[in-house]
Amino acid sequence: MEYLGENLLHGIACTMEKFTSSESELAKYIIENPDEISQLSINQIAKKIHISPATITRFCQKISFSGFNEFKHELKRYIDLRNKPTASSDIKEIDYFSNLYQNHLEIIETTFRKMTYFDIQQAVSLLTDAEKVHVYGIGNSGIAAQEFKWKFFRIGIQVESITDPHQAVMDAALSTGSSLVIGISVSGGTKEVIDAIKIAKQQGAAVLAITSEKTSELSQLADLSLLVMSKSSMHMGQNISPTLPLFLLFDLLYTELVAKDYVNRVQIRDKTLRALKN
């Protein structure tokens, strides 16, 4: 659970059942006297409530902080937010939105920093050389696979997305040396995707892996791996769509592909758009 800003005391109150009697006493005192606690040292709090500093440290760790200093810093931010006027036209001034904004920027900046133009060029060459592109993904990666299909199909890439494990292995068995198979797995260890990729390789298909783990099994099987950022280590990672880093990569590939064959790709895209309007 994330104890951010104005949610801090509410988060503590919701976690009461996990605390020992001494920790519960500390929690109640914090909820009732946040301003006072924010000004005291760990030893001063221990003496005031008649508990040990070790109990305070364990309490902080139970609510996902590394220790008292990190908790105290967050408590002071809570107090600052509470005393701040609520009306604001800029949502970036709201603490948790500001953190979310920074995490989104980090995903964009890290992706652009890690991705090389040569990798993008290679991936686009694989896409344009293939007679058919097969994209495999399960769960959220399956949602990304479907987005890939509709994005690239509309500019003339013959692509199919497979999100069912049984269908994936059957589809892989029918791939050929002129096929490009794309496996999407942020962890790089999704068994169903790896099983299908192994079958496709046996058929001579080219393999493109999209993952966050360079040393993963999926990456090792691929002719080319494109690395996306994993959001699991981010402070507000659970609030970010798992498809966001993948969609950013798709946009990079799409932009390069259109740029290299602009007139043709735009004509195809316009043709599909006109068909939708009719």
pLDDT tens digit sequence for 105-152 = 888 888 888 899 999 999 999 999 999 999 999 999 999 999 999 999
Query: Quick one: pLDDT at residue 99?
Result: 80
Give the integer Cα–Cα distance in Å for 157 and 163. Answer: 19
Query: Quick one: pLDDT at residue 233?
Result: 60
Q: Which runs of consecutive H residues, i.e. helices, occur in the chain?
A: 8-14, 21-32, 34-37, 42-49, 53-62, 68-83, 95-114, 117-129, 140-153, 165-173, 191-202, 217-221, 244-260, 262-277
Query: Quick one: pLDDT at residue 1?
Result: 42
Query: Quick one: pLDDT at residue 2?
Result: 47
Nearest to 211 by CA among 220, 202, 203: 220
Query: Quick one: pLDDT at residue 30?
Result: 93
Locus of tokens 């390069």: 256
Q: Check: CB of residue 229 under 8 Å from CB of residue 107.
A: yes
CATH 3.40.50.10490 fits 103-277, yes or no: yes
Q: How confident is the model at residue 78 (pLDDT cuts 50, 70, 90)?
A: confident
- pTM higher than the cut 0.75: no
Other C-beta atoms closer than 10 Å to the C-beta of 214 total 12
Give the integer Cα–Cα distance in Å for 226 and 244. Answer: 15
Nearest to 224 by CA among 183, 174, 271, 273: 183
Give the integer Cα–Cα distance in Å for 63 and 59. Answer: 7
Average pLDDT, the chain: 89
Domain ranges of the chain: 5-83, 103-277
Other C-beta atoms closer than 10 Å to the C-beta of 258 total 17
Return the C-alpha torsion angle 25, 30, 33, 34, nearest 10. 170
Tell me which of 78 and 194 has the higher pLDDT: 194
**Which residues on adjacent β-strands are paired with residue 161?**
135
Locus of tokens 């980090």: 106
At 207 the three-state DSSP class reads: strand
Percentage of the chain exceeding pLDDT 70: 93
Locus of tokens 């939105």: 97
CATH 3.40.50.300 fits 5-83, yes or no: no
201-260 pLDDT, tens digit per residue, is 999 999 999 999 999 999 999 999 999 988 666 655 677 888 999 999 999 999 999 999
**Token representation of residue 138:** 């399960």
Amino acid at 236: M
Q: Check: CB of residue 211 under 8 Å from CB of residue 245.
A: no
Q: Cα dist. 141→49, 77, 111, 145, 190 in Å?
A: 50, 36, 17, 6, 10
Over residues 261-268, the mean pLDDT reads 94
Query: Quick one: pLDDT at residue 63?
Result: 87
Query: Quick one: pLDDT at residue 66?
Result: 87
